Structure 1
Amino acid sequence: MTFSKADLKELEHLYRINLVNSCSGFKSANLIGTTSKSGQQNVTVFSSVTHIGSNPPLLGFFCRPTTVIRHTYNNIKETGVYTINHIHKSIIEDAHHTSASYDETISEFDVTNLTSEIKENCIAPFVKDSPVQLEMKFITEYPIKENGTILVIGEIQHIHVNQDIIEADGFLNLSKANVASINGLDTYLLPVVEKRLDYQRPKSL
């Protein structure tokens, strides 16, 4: 099948959303934890966390347009601190439920079996038992004028990781921890390492 740009405009709304959201491939599955200035905790699933650079260690994620209240974005702008936590097999359903729209006075930790974990000198909550927990500091943001989304960029302050998934060269073998990925909006997968390949250099001709 082939879909032109014009075809996409004519598709039924949900069909178009599912098609376009899944065509980019597998995405990261993370829970971003924040705390408001008043101390209210928030945790929400994101599938857009991406590596920006290693030195300094920067990660980015996309926020949807702020035409409605975005608790995660607002809390980050207020405090400058947030956490990124990998979703793993045993918390998939609870993690997905955090996509529901609750009032800002209700913490997703209170309506799921997810457990908040506070670590020293970090006001934002981590998700307890997540095999990879990242403490982040807000650095900057870039509005995407074409659709009103916002690219939020943060710097890693601390990495907390289960020791048994770290390889000798520093590589995190996420499959050992049953870390999930997302296809589209609502489908979760458990990737398995097929093969690691050496750094590639040009062949001699």
Structure 2
Amino acid sequence: MEIWERSSIRFMLNAKLDELHGEGFEDFFHDVMCVLNPGFLNVRTAGRLGDQGADGLLLCGKKLYACYAPQTVVPSSIAGKFKTDLAKAIEKRGNEFKTFVFVHNDRRGIHPEVASLLATARDDHPELSFENFGRRHFYAEFCRMEKWQSRTSLARSPQNRWSSASYWKNWSRSWITSPNTGAPLRTCRPSPDLRSRRWNITGFPGMSAIA
């Protein structure tokens, strides 16, 4: 994958993740993992059973995934849910996983208190491994995808402003190319008002080009 393609993916992925919380974020995570891993199980809730402490299971790696994407990060609330999910997973799925993966949507990274929480859980449960799965991990997974897979995953959510038909119709035109070689020089993206038919050039504030 070319560097300009990776830059475009990073921009669109961040735009999408900024808008996803709760069940919407969990659904997006399921979409990504199902594309990349045939052995991934997107666990749904089932009446009184709930999800038994798992938002997803990876059969081949014996990993259990738990998603945390509140609109407002409150460490004490996350700590309570984390402890509840971990206890439930150990009780109900003790033989099904060896690694507990904390999946989150924090743009800046994992909160210091949450990091300490994971370290404490590692010490309390030496038989288990604990991992973090955040935005950089999402980006790395998207870079592994084929182009049609990344496009499908990013466009699936109807509430995302970058998933509109107009955006994808114009996406292939959103590159400035060299007049000599035709190679892309800088990535561009549609402005929020697509009717203006103007493009904002990533990395050059205030500059634009007419489509």
TM-score, L = length of structure 2: 0.26
Identify the structure with bigger relative contact order (alpha carbons < 8 Å, sequence gap 6+): 1
Which has more strand, going by share of residues? Answer: 1
Which has more helix, going by share of residues? Answer: 2
